[in-house]
Amino acid sequence: MKSSPPSASLSQRLLLVTTTETSARAAPASAPSALLLRWLNEPRDIAALAVFRFLIGGLMCFGSLRFMQNGWIERLYLEPDFHFKYWGFEWVVVPDATGMYLLYSAIAASAALVAIGAFYRIAIVVFWCLFTYAELMDVTSYLNHYYFISMLTLIMCFLSPHRAWSVDAWLRPRLRATTLPAWQTWWLRFQVGLLYFYAGLAKFETDWLLHAQPLNIWLPPHSGLPLLGPWLEMTWVHYFFSWFAFIFDTTIIAFMLWRVTRPYAFLVVLVFHFFTHLFFNIGLFPLIMIFSVLVFFDSDWPRHVLRWGQVSRRPPAEQRFIETARPAGWTPFGAGFACFVLAFCVVQFLTPLRHWAYPGTVLWHEQGMRFSWRVMVREKSGSLQYRVITSSGRQVLIAPRTYLTEDQYREMSGQPDMILQLAHHIGADYDALGLGPVEVYADSLVSLNGRRASAMIDPAVDLMTVKDSLAHANWITAAPDMPPPLQTPLNLVVGK
C-alpha cells in the first residue's frame, strides 16, 4: 500500500483519502453512497474559505481588543462579587484581573493568527478553547452571536482554509492547494442556515406576528433618529418590521442558495443588518452575520472581485499547486468522521427544539431558551426580592442588588434559573455565618412583552429545596394568558 503524500494534511484525510490510498483501504461503495461521496468531495475553489478565515479571525481579534478597551472586563467580570454559572459548567471560574487580561489578549492573538493563517491548526483550536471558556464564565454575558462564533470556530478546527492566502501556505509550499472538498463549505452553510431558520421559527409567535411585540416597545424610543425617527412611532411600522423580520429569517437562506436571487438577497441582508445595528445595541452581530452569509456565494467569488478591481488579471499563482484528489471509496476513517459530522449536525438541529419538552411558553419559563437561536424575541422587566427565614423563625428581606451589579440584576430578574442560583448563594452565605439552615423564597414580579407584571416564581416554594436540572421546573408559575397590550404614541396637546 502506498503511503499518503507528505503534503497531505488532516483536512485531506477527513471524509476522504487520496486515490493512491483508496485502492488498498477503501471499502466498495454502493451507487447512492458513491454519489454522496463524490458530492461531498467535489473540489471547490479555496478562495472563499480563505477570505472567510481572514474576516472571522480579523473580526474576533478586533472584538477582543475592543472588549478590553471599553472596560468590559472590569464591568462584566471584575466588579461583580458573584457570577452566575451554566448548568454543568460550575467548574468554570473567573480569573483575577491579570488572568482576565491575559485570557483576552490570548484570544486576540490567536484570532489574529487565524486571520493571517499562521500556525492555523493550533491557533484555531486555541481560539475556540479560550473564547468558549470566556463565554462560559458568567450566564449574564450570554449572547446568541457568542455561541454562534463558538460553533463556527469549532467547525473551522476541522477545515483547511489556511492552504491558500496564508502565512502557512507561504512558508510551506507543499501545503498549498487551490481547492477544498465541498463538505467544508456545506458544513459552514448548515450552521449559518440553522441560525436563520430557528431565528425565523422563533418569530412564529402570536406576540411577534399578531401584536408586534416586542418591537412595539423597542422602536418608539428611537423616534429621535433623523428622517426615519417619526415613522418609528407608528404602529403599522412595528407590524411591518415584525413581519419583514419573520419573512427575512425564514426565507433568506433559500434565496442565498439560488444563484439567480443571491445578489439581491445579499443586498437585503445588508439592509436588514444595517437596521439591526441602527436600532439595537448588539455589538458585532450584524458584521458577523454579513460575513457568514458570504459562504453561500460561489467559492471563487474573491477571485472575481480581484479581477473586477483590476488587482489581478491572471489566476493566482497558487492555482498551479495541487488540488484535492477525489476519493474512489469510503475509508474507515472517512466513514467515522462522516458519522461525527452527522452527529454534530443532528445535535445542533435538535437542541433548539428541547423547549417543547416543557409545558408553557419558553419566553416565560426560559427552559430551553439559550442555545436555541431565539434572537431578540422577548422583552422582560421585573422586580425581585428574597425572603430568608432563619432557623429561629426570623424573616429577613434581601434585595438582589446586595449581591449583584445593575447589569446582572437587569438580566437575572426575568430568568428563573438565575434567580434560583442566587437563592442558593444567599443560603450558603447564611450557612457560612453559622445562621443556617435557612429557607429562601422569592417574590418575583415579571412583565413579558408589556403585559401586567405577574409572579414568575411560586412564592410558597423554598428555593433551598430546589435543585437546578433539566427536569420541568414546577416552581415556575404558568405564563399570563392575556395578550400583550399595544403601546400607542402619546399625542401631547399644549393648552392655550
**pLDDT given for residue 197 in this prediction:** 97
Mean pLDDT of the chain: 89
8-12, 146-150, 228-232, 481-485: least confident range: 8-12
pLDDT digits (tens, 9 = 90+) for 424-473: 999 999 999 988 799 999 999 999 999 999 999 999 999 999 999 999 99
Tallying the residues shown for the chain, one arrives at: 496
* Local confidence band at 478 (pLDDT 50, 70, 90 cut-offs): very high
**pLDDT given for residue 490 in this prediction:** 55
* Local confidence band at 200 (pLDDT 50, 70, 90 cut-offs): very high
**pLDDT given for residue 263 in this prediction:** 96
pLDDT digits (tens, 9 = 90+) for 329-365: 778 888 899 999 999 999 999 999 999 999 999 999 9
The pLDDT of 314-336, averaged and rounded, is 62
**pLDDT given for residue 5 in this prediction:** 43
Residue 154, pLDDT > 70, answer: yes
pLDDT digits (tens, 9 = 90+) for 166-195: 999 999 999 999 999 999 999 999 999 999
Residue 29 or residue 489, greater confidence: 489
**pLDDT given for residue 327 in this prediction:** 60
pLDDT digits (tens, 9 = 90+) for 233-276: 999 999 999 999 999 999 999 999 999 999 999 999 999 999 99
Residue 496 or residue 345, greater confidence: 345
Q: Is the whole-model pTM more than 0.85?
A: yes
pLDDT digits (tens, 9 = 90+) for 67-81: 999 999 999 999 999
Residue 32, pLDDT > 90, answer: no
Percentage, residues of the chain above pLDDT 90 = 79
pLDDT digits (tens, 9 = 90+) for 375-423: 899 999 989 999 999 988 899 999 999 999 999 999 999 999 999 999 9
Residue 2, pLDDT > 60, answer: no
